[in-house]
Amino acid sequence: MSRCSLRSGKITRNGIKAKIPVNIDLRPVSIYNKIIETSLSDHRRGIAMNRLFYRIADPTKNITVLVTNEIDKEHYVPVATQLLRVIKDAEQVAFLVEPHRKGSRIGLCMMGGEFCGNATLSAAALMAQKDGLKPEEESDIQLDVSGADHALTCHIKAHNPTKGFFKGGGRQTDLFTGTLEMPLPKSFTAYQGLPAVCFRGIIHIIVPVGMMKAKAIEESIRSAAHALRTPALGMLLWDEKNSYMTPCVYVRDTDSLTWERGCASGSAAIGAWRAYKAQTSISTDVHQPGGMIRTDANHTDGKITKLAITGQVILR
């Protein structure tokens, strides 16, 4: 079990010194530890003991840190910033919280308050693992997620484990496939002549491959996010011929820019945009550096009426 300590009591963000919890032990929660089995409020004791518990999920190589303590939102940005610095390959941080929407079993809030499909898939997989879902068994899990207007349902199927986890003398799976109902786009618009798909909390701009180089995207994505007044912005290099997407995502609160290996909301944006453009329902296999995410977009009477993604998650 890895352990490290964050001893810097302050970080600077936008010229303002922000307090962070001091001497936090960053240690992954053990597979044997009770996770989400009691009310999340009980995990507040972890902060009191200067311990931060988390699990790492791998949804299409979009490595996601799931913090299982419930901590105050004022600490999200500094804690997420530090976690991204010390955890190898981590691309984003999400916080498990008490759900407020009826029927939801777990709540999830991203570090910038945006919506993230891969983090949602990861949280659903964690719940399924906690429930003891066995290979080839399936379950529906409802989640209350930041950036979504309503509770979302994820259909989870367990598979044979990729490595030897054991719990209570039996093997526990770490590999899942999830089909997630996605929030519908608020609108389709354009930014500097490029198609843009607007979700609550994040906008994705679709850039045809060859139109912009990676450096140009990195230099323009921050100003575009501010111009569009969105908490998070994706610029998706899209190769229509090969159905291949390379996503760059910027989150304003953490000032983090990441070339993600897999992006669920970006995949959904591609699927929704293709259906909207063709004025018909479309399924799209969106290939990306970390693998493939399938999108299914239903189009009826000139608008997108249903949007879903399907992808795999490995829990470390």
Q: Are the beta carbons of 24 and 53 closer than 8 angstroms?
A: no
pLDDT tens for the chain, 316 residues: list them.
233 333 332 322 222 233 333 333 333 333 223 333 333 334 334 443 457 889 999 999 999 999 998 788 888 888 888 898 889 899 999 999 999 999 999 999 997 778 899 999 999 999 999 999 999 999 999 999 998 889 999 999 999 877 654 444 445 578 999 999 999 999 999 999 999 999 988 999 999 999 999 999 999 999 999 999 999 999 999 999 999 999 999 999 889 899 999 999 999 999 999 999 999 999 999 999 999 999 999 999 999 999 999 999 999 8
Bridge partners for 13 per DSSP: 16
* Span between the terminal Cα atoms of the chain, in Å: 12
CATH, residue 36: 3.10.310
Residues 305 and 274 reside in one and the same domain: yes
Residues 285 and 236 reside in one and the same domain: yes
The total of structural domains in the chain comes to 2
The pLDDT, as a whole number, for residue 36 is: 34
Q: Is residue 316 part of a domain?
A: no
Q: Is residue 68 part of a domain?
A: yes
- Rounded (5°) CA angle 295-57-205: 40
Residues 22 and 163 reside in one and the same domain: yes
Residues 119 and 144 reside in one and the same domain: yes
The residue among 315, 275, 316 whose CA lies nearest residue 295 is: 275
Q: Are the beta carbons of 91 and 254 closer than 8 angstroms?
A: no
Q: Is residue 265 part of a domain?
A: yes
C-alpha torsion sign, points 176, 101, 72, 85: positive
Residues 138 and 247 reside in one and the same domain: no
Residues 168 and 224 reside in one and the same domain: no
What string of DSSP letters covers 184-253? PPSEEEEETTEEEEEETTEEEEEEETTSS-HHHHHHHHHHHHHHHT-SEEEEEEEETTTTEEEEEEEETT
Residues 297 and 251 reside in one and the same domain: yes
Structure tokens at 199: 């979700």
The pLDDT, as a whole number, for residue 74 is: 87
Residues 43 and 134 reside in one and the same domain: yes
Q: Which domain holds residue 49?
A: 5-181
Last residue of a domain, one of 126, 147, 181: 181
Residue found by looking up tokens 């921050």 in the block: 222
